[in-house]
Amino acid sequence: MTAPSDPPSPRKPRSTRKPKAATEVAADGAAAPDAAARDIAVAGLSAAQAKAEHGALAAEIAGHDRAYYQKDAPVISDADYDALRRRYEEIEARFPKLKGADSLSEKVGAAPSEKFGKVIHQVPMLSLANCFSDTEVEEFVARVRRFLAFDGGEELVFTSEPKIDGLSCSLRYVESQLAVAATRGDGAEGEDVTANVRTIACIPNEISGADVPDIIDVRGEIYMAGADFEALNERQAAAGKPLFANPRNAAAGSLRQLDPSITASRPLKFFAYAWGEASSLPADTQFGVVEAFARWGFATNPHMRMAASAAELVAQYHAIEEERARLGYDIDGVVYKVNRIDLQRRLGFISRSPRWAIAHKFPAEQAFTQLEDIEIQVGRTGALTPVAKLTPVTVGGVVVSSATLHNEDEIARKDVRIGDTVVVQRAGDVIPQVVRVVEEKRPAGAVPFQFPHLCPACGSHAVREVDPKTGKEDAVRRCTGGLICPAQMVERLRHFVSRNAFDIEGLGEKQVEAFYDWGLIASPADIFTLEERNARSLQRLENREGWGKTSAQNLFSAIASRRNVAVDRFVFALGIRHVGETNAKRLMRHYGTVEALEEAALAAVMPSDTHPKGNEAWLEMTGIDGIGGVVAEAVVEFFEEPNNREVVAALLKEVTPEPMEQVASESPVAGKTVVFTGSLEKMTREEAKAMAERLGAKVAGSVSAKTDLVVAGPGAGSKLEKARTLGVSVITEDEWFALVG
Ligand code: IVH
CATH class for the domain made up of 365-443+451-484: mainly beta
Q: What SS3 class is residue 291? A: helix
Report d(CA 121, CA 24) in Å as an integer: 34
Element (H, E) at 610: none
This prediction has a pTM of 0.49
Query: So where are the chain's domains?
Result: 1-108, 130-361, 365-443+451-484, 485-562, 567-658, 673-740
Least confident of 45-49, 75-79, 564-568, 725-729: 75-79
Judge contact between 207 and 176, C-beta under 8 A: yes
CATH class for the domain made up of 673-740: alpha beta
Q: What SS3 class is residue 167? A: strand
37-84 pLDDT, tens digit per residue, is 566 778 778 787 888 888 888 878 877 776 666 666 666 666 677 778
Ligand 1 atom at shortest distance from the alpha carbon of 301: 15
Q: How far apart are the first and last CA of the chain?
A: 79
Residue 380 pLDDT:
75
What CATH number was assigned to the domain covering residues 130-361?
A: 3.30.470.30
135-190 pLDDT, tens digit per residue, is 999 999 999 999 999 987 899 999 999 999 999 999 999 999 999 999 999 899 99
Report d(CA 405, CA 451) in Å as an integer: 12
CA-nearest residue for atom 15, ligand 1, is 163
How far CA 453 is from CA of 376, 463, 464, 722, in Å, comes to 11, 7, 9, 46
**For helices 642-654 and 524-536, what crossing angle results, to 10°?**
50
Report d(CA 517, CA 508) in Å as an integer: 14
Report d(CA 460, CA 713) in Å as an integer: 49
4-39 pLDDT, tens digit per residue, is 232 222 222 222 222 222 222 222 233 333 444 566
Mean of pLDDT over the chain: 86
Report d(CA 98, CA 387) in Å as an integer: 36
**Which CATH entry fits the domain spanning 1-108: 3.30.413.10, 3.40.190.10, 1.10.287.610, 1.10.150.120?**
1.10.287.610
Query: How far, in Å, from the CA of 126 to the mean position of ligand 1?
Result: 8
Report d(CA 581, CA 6) in Å as an integer: 55
Tell me the range of 98-112, 218-232, 460-474 where mean pLDDT is highest.
Answer: 218-232
**Helices in 66-162 by DSSP H: which ranges?**
78-94, 134-148
Which residues line ligand 1 at a C-beta cut-off of 6 Å? Answer: 126-128, 161, 163-164, 168, 221, 273-274, 335, 354, 357, 359
Determine the residue type at 225.
A
Report d(CA 160, CA 560) in Å as an integer: 71
Residue 666 pLDDT:
67
Judge contact between 29 and 59, C-beta under 8 A: yes
Residue 23 pLDDT:
27
**What's the average model confidence in pLDDT over 691-717?**
87
Least confident of 113-122, 442-451, 667-676: 113-122
Architecture of domain 485-562: Orthogonal Bundle (1.10)
Would you tell me how many other CB atoms lie within 10 Å of the CB of residue 271? 22
CA-nearest residue for atom 18, ligand 1, is 163
Which residues is 434 bridged to in the sheet? 424
- The answer to whether the 130-361 and 673-740 domains have the same CATH topology is no
Least confident of 17-21, 237-241, 524-528: 17-21
Judge contact between 298 and 218, C-beta under 8 A: yes
168, 183, 313, 332, best to mutate for ligand 1 pocket (most atoms within 8 Å of CB): 168
107, 221, 353, 360, best to mutate for ligand 1 pocket (most atoms within 8 Å of CB): 221
Judge contact between 31 and 25, C-beta under 8 A: yes
Q: Are strands 365-378 and 383-395 parallel, antiparallel or unpaired?
A: antiparallel
Ligand 1 atom at shortest distance from the alpha carbon of 161: 15
Judge contact between 178 and 193, C-beta under 8 A: no
Q: How many secondary structure helices (H) and strands (E) does the chain include? A: 26, 26
Rg (CA), the chain: 31
Ligand 1 atom at shortest distance from the alpha carbon of 184: 10
DSSP string for residues in 575-600: T-TT--HHHHHHHHHHH-SHHHHHHH
- 361 has catalytic annotation: no
Question: Which residue in 12, 20, 163, 585 is the catalytic one?
Answer: 163
Judge contact between 368 and 394, C-beta under 8 A: no
How far CA 118 is from CA of 34, 238, 715, in Å, comes to 36, 35, 64
Q: Which fold has domain 567-658?
A: DNA polymerase; domain 1 (1.10.150)
Tell me the range of 213-222, 540-549, 705-714 where mean pLDDT is highest.
Answer: 213-222
CA-nearest residue for atom 1, ligand 1, is 274
